[in-house]
A and B are shown apart, each in its own frame.
Chain A
Amino acid sequence: MSIVWAKKGRTGKRLRGRTARIGSLPLTSMIDVVFLLLIYFLVTANFAQPERDLPSALQTDGEGARSSDLQPQIVEIRMLDGAPIFVLGDLAVRTGEDLRVILEQLPKEAGVAVRSVPDAPISAVAEAMQASFDAGFIKRSYVPRDEN
């Protein structure tokens, strides 16, 4: 496709050849729109914080040994002095980092199941799930408490 851009020179004569074709490309609207796009991206750049997902399985009470004879590691979230603690057997720790250190030393084949008391904050649930993820557990489940 050949588009010939033509323009009249200062003298009023029509310019010919390559000069006329290149020189008369109308860039005004292009610049307008490019600046609009620039402003748009500047304005929207910090609209929302980037989010991530923490995947896990959903397990119901009594189905712990469905896929394996091995019992999963059970992390229980409880509240002590208004703050959540993570209980794993006889051990109790306050932070997700400490929980991760303990979980890393345990066998991982059977997976880990997390459950929580009703009044614990969801951030503690996320912290426990993150600790089990970081410790290298592939099977991670959350066991919701059924109030009924």
Chain B
Amino acid sequence: MIGGSRTSRHMISVDLTSMIDVVFQLIIFFIFTSHFGELRRTEIDLPREKGGQQEVQQQPAMIIDIQRSGVFFVESRETSLAEIERLARNGLAISDSGGPKFDVLVRPDQHAAAMHLDRLLVRLSSLGVTSWKIGTVVPDGGGSQ
């Protein structure tokens, strides 16, 4: 039975410790990176409204932040209206060629003047964007739907 004990010895040497370590490290890595992807939304004092119904939410094609001063940000980078127009045009072209519907989420500072929103939306509507969403946060102490 010497041969049999040799086989057992081979099985005994299977050590999953390092495997589990690595797998969990990978899980942590992917959790972190996916979360940071969402954190690219800049911190903005959004209007306090309960918003629409929580349906199955798809990630908007373009997220535009408007700061109180009227400066626009796309993916945490200051972006001019001309650049936003170019990005939107590209997004619409992808949508027209069978891609997902191009929709825009605007995340404005609640104290920003409406003229900044108007400047942006006039540009977008001239390109053919017909629907948009405004980002809100649920006010404290209620507003659940």
Contacts and interface: CB of A to CB of B under 8 A. Distances in A.
A33 B49 CA distance: 39
Interface residues of A, number: 51
Given A49-B137, A123-B47, A127-B47, A30 B113 contact: no
A55 interface: yes
Instruction: Name B's interface SS.
Output: mixed
Nearest to B118: A144
Contact of B117 (A37, A47, A125): A125
A120 B130 CA distance: 23
Contact of B54 (A6, A52, A55, A60): A52
Contacts of A116: 114, 118
Interface in A21-45: 26, 28-30, 32-33, 36-37, 40, 44
Interface residues of B, number: 62
A56 B17 contact: no
Nearest to A24: B12
B24 A33 contact: yes
Interface in A91-148: 116-127, 129-130, 133, 142, 144-148
A123 B17 contact: no
Contact of A58 (B48, B66, B121): B121
A57 B138 contact: no
A144 B133 contact: no
Contacts of A3: 11, 14, 16
A147 B20 contact: no
A58 B124 contact: yes
19 contacts: A4-B11, A29-B17, A30-B20, A36-B24, A37-B27, A51-B136, A52-B135, A53-B52, A53-B57, A58-B129, A58-B131, A118-B114, A119-B115, A121-B112, A122-B110, A125-B134, A133-B52, A144-B117, A147-B118
